[in-house]
């Protein structure tokens, strides 16, 4: 394998690999105090994890053009951010080096597992070339918050499972609905659609945003894709409200392995956010299909109208017993890995 990219200046690589069988032999999740003195979630390294940490921290002494940046050693996998200075090493091959680093890790960890080195790591791994800026900041946040994300997922597993074939009184039965999060949010009769155009600035949208935040504060549920700058500002303000709940619709299918961001993970765990898609699972995330975005907005409006009762009641055969206006059918739940 050869990666094709501009090998000049500094480049950032996000690396992830797992212990075979996802055995928790590298660390344990613990509660600790952060730099500000507040309690937070961290990791306590076990001997095998200490050995991997020492191997990672020592790479700059061996390869001066490499810098071991942010990292986290989870109980059964590692997340590493590597900085490569291509001014010093134009011929550096990240894949060759990464395989070498993994093999050294095998020799280091194998004695703690009591297995042959070849059986330490899973065969697959993740390697991502990261651009500086927002993408790099997101990766660093992801690494830092990984222990907390694990606690959120372990504590609320049903909210991180993709639900297929969702049927509910407010959902058009002709569409293929999938969801991730707390499905009880669909029972709210106080949903309202949000569409803040890109043709207006956030400042121009502020009066409308303030009104929507007040509605959410009083228990109403905004439904939106949160794509435009104004909608993203609304989402930021909703997250600051301790009791606000919202539905985030996406203009693509929800794949089996859908990994939410750190912020999304928190609000999924708290039961304040629901991911919802009305598109078949094979509709790709990228590239963004703007026709689907417009279609999504129209479906959001229809969903909110149905929640208010402004729709023709579906036939009883399409619903399960369980309360007027909040019936839902059996859905397929698929377990996801953390």
Residue 52: HSE in the Cβ half-sphere, 13 Å Cα cutoff: 32
Give dist(CA 322, CA 260) in Å, integer: 30
pLDDT, tens digit, 9 for 90 and up, residues 267-299: 999 999 999 999 999 999 888 899 999 999 999
pLDDT, tens digit, 9 for 90 and up, residues 232-261: 999 999 999 999 999 999 999 999 888 899
**Residues in the chain with pLDDT values less than 50:** 1, 314-330, 336-338
The predicted structure's pLDDT at residue 6 = 83
Give dist(CA 259, CA 327) in Å, integer: 28
The predicted structure's pLDDT at residue 332 = 65
CA 228 to chain CA mean position, Å: 19
Domain boundaries, the chain: 10-147, 156-334
Of 321, 330, 331, 319, nearest to 169 by C-alpha is: 319
Of 183, 146, 145, nearest to 162 by C-alpha is: 183
First to last CA, the chain: 27
Global pTM exceeds 0.95: no
Of 19, 25, 53, nearest to 124 by C-alpha is: 19
Give dist(CA 325, CA 319) in Å, integer: 10
Give dist(CA 97, CA 52) in Å, integer: 16
Asked if 89 and 57 count as a contact pair (C-beta separation under 8 A), the reply is no
The predicted structure's pLDDT at residue 2 = 56
CATH superfamily of 10-147: Transposase IS200-like (3.30.70.1290)
Asked if 75 and 25 count as a contact pair (C-beta separation under 8 A), the reply is yes
Does domain 156-334 fall under CATH 3.40.50? My reply is yes
| 3-class DSSP state of 274 | strand
């Amino acid at each position: 394998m050869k990666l094709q990219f501009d090998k000049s200046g500094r480049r950032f690589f996000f690396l992830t690999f797992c212990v075979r069988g996802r055995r928790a032999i590298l660390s344990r999740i613990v509660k600790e105090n952060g730099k500000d003195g507040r309690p937070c979630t961290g990791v306590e390294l076990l001997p095998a994890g200490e050995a991997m940490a020492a191997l990672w921290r020592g790479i700059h002494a061996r390869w001066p053009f490499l810098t071991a940046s942010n990292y986290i050693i989870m109980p059964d996998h590692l997340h590493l951010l590597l900085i490569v200075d291509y001014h010093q090493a134009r011929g550096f091959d990240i894949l060759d080096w990464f395989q070498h680093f993994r093999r050294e890790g095998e020799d280091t960890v194998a004695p703690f597992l009591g297995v042959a080195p070849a059986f330490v790591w899973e065969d697959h791994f993740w390697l991502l070339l990261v651009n500086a800026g927002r993408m790099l900041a997101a990766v660093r946040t992801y690494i830092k918050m990984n222990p907390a994300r694990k606690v959120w997922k372990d504590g609320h597993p049903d909210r991180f499972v993709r639900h297929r074939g969702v049927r509910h009184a407010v959902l058009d039965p002709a569409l293929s609905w999938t969801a991730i999060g707390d499905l009880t949010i669909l029972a709210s009769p106080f949903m309202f659609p949000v569409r803040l155009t890109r043709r207006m600035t956030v400042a121009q949208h502020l009066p409308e945003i303030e009104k929507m935040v007040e509605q959410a504060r009083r228990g109403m549920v905004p439904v939106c894709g949160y794509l435009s700058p104004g909608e993203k500002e609304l989402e930021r303000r909703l997250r600051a409200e301790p009791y606000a709940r919202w539905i985030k619709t996406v203009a693509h299918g929800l794949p089996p392995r859908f990994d939410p961001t750190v912020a999304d993970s928190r609000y999924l765990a708290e039961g304040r956010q629901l991911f919802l898609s009305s598109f078949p699972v094979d509709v790709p995330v990228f590239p963004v299909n703007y026709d689907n975005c417009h279609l999504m907005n129209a479906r959001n409006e229809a969903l909110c109208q149905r929640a208010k009762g402004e729709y023709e009641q579906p036939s009883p055969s399409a619903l399960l017993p369980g309360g007027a206006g909040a019936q839902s059918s059996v859905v397929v739940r698929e377990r996801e890995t953390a």
